[in-house]
Structure 1
Amino acid sequence: MPNIASILKAEISRVARKEVRAEIETLKKASVHHRALIAALRRQVNGLEKELRNVANGSGKRAAVRDADETVEAGPKRRFSPGRLASHRSKLGLSAASYGKLVGVSGQTIYHWEQGKARPRAAQLERLASVREFGRQQVAERLQAD
């Protein structure tokens, strides 16, 4: 018959390993969570540092663009939808080049806006809004005047 002390010792060792394994599992989960938070914070810090460098190294051109955008932003906030632009242009029966003349941009720019490859600036949004108020006759008059 085996020694009761050795059986008891083996059983205590098995139960202890089981308990330690459970505790380690919770610590591993906490560690993974903390590492994910640390990585997110690092990304946030890198983004903020990059933004700070851009602001610190702001050239006169960037400042002029910001000033121009701020003057336009004094009006109502404008939203932009590529689909609505395309439907308005087709409703008027205009080519992208003609519509671009009304807005003051090229036809290629209109295509890019409609496809969602680019977005208009604030000043261009204002011009788009003014063109949306025109009917077919007003558009024809404007295009003949140019």
Structure 2
Amino acid sequence: MANTAALTKEQIARISRKESRKIIEPMKAQLVLLRKTVATLKNERAQFRREVATVSKGTVRSATPQLRSEVDVAEAGTTTRRYRFTAASFRKLRERLELTRPEMATLLGSSKQAVYMWETEGSQPREVFVAKIAIVKGLTKQSARQLLEAHPDGQP
């Protein structure tokens, strides 16, 4: 009798494993397909983000209103947004806009020496100038030239 009970128990276990495999195998295949779909969607999302970043960098912004409003906020000491400043990116910005150091100084309202020191990591700009640099990052070569032409005497 013990053998019959053991054999019956083994048969029930074998049949239950077989039946559960029939149910689980299609689910595994669906899971693989869903994971591939999720990976594809993540890649598409990353691609869209890159495209949005590229498009937003290429947009032309109105320079004059931004310069006045954001700089006034910065001078009032109520800036809440922090901008990252590095000497290399500052120099690349100046070169991208095709400006000389004196022209960049005029645009920012600082001295030529300060621009030189910021580019060579001799010093860090104050928060007011970091905010102004962030605004200048949004300018095109043409809009930067227009702002400089608006102040021919070298005063910002």
User: Hey, what's the Cα distance between the residues in 1 that align with 2:139 and 2:102?
Assistant: 17
- Percent of pairs identical after alignment? 25
Cα 1:88–1:70 shift into 2, 3 Å: closer
Alignment of structure 1 residues 125-140 onto 2, 5 Å: 125-140=130-145
Out of 95, 99, 104, the residue aligned to residue 90 of structure 1 is 95
User: Hey, what's the Cα distance between the residues in 2 that align with 1:71 and 1:108?
Assistant: 25
Cα 1:75–1:95 shift into 2, 3 Å: same
Deviation at 1:70, TM superposition (A): 9.3
Out of 107, 111, 117, the residue aligned to residue 112 of structure 1 is 117
Unaligned runs of 5+ in 1: 1-67
TM-score, length-scaled by structure 2: 0.47
Deviation at 1:69, TM superposition (A): 7.7
Cα contact 1:73–1:122 (8 A) shared by 2: no
User: Hey, what's the Cα distance between the residues in 1 that align with 2:74 and 2:135?
Assistant: 17
Unaligned runs of 5+ in 2: 1-72, 152-156
User: 1:81 — aligned with what?
Assistant: 86
**Could you give the per-residue CA deviations for residues 29-87 of structure 1, whole angstroms, max 9, x where no partner exists?**
xxxxxxxxxxxxxxxxxxxxxxxxxxxxxxxxxxxxxxx98953532112110000001
Cα 1:145–1:81 shift into 2, 3 Å: same
User: Hey, what's the Cα distance between the residues in 2 that align with 1:128 and 1:118?
Assistant: 15
Structure number with the bigger relative contact order (C-alpha 8 A, sep ≥ 6) is 2
Alignment of structure 1 residues 5-16 onto 2, 5 Å: none
Cα 1:138–1:86 shift into 2, 3 Å: same
Out of 121, 139, 147, the residue aligned to residue 142 of structure 1 is 147
Q: Please, what is the CA RMSD of the aligned residues?
A: 2.0
**Could you give the per-residue CA deviations for residues 97-135 of structure 1, whole angstroms, max 9, x where no partner exists?**
001111110111101000000100111111111111110
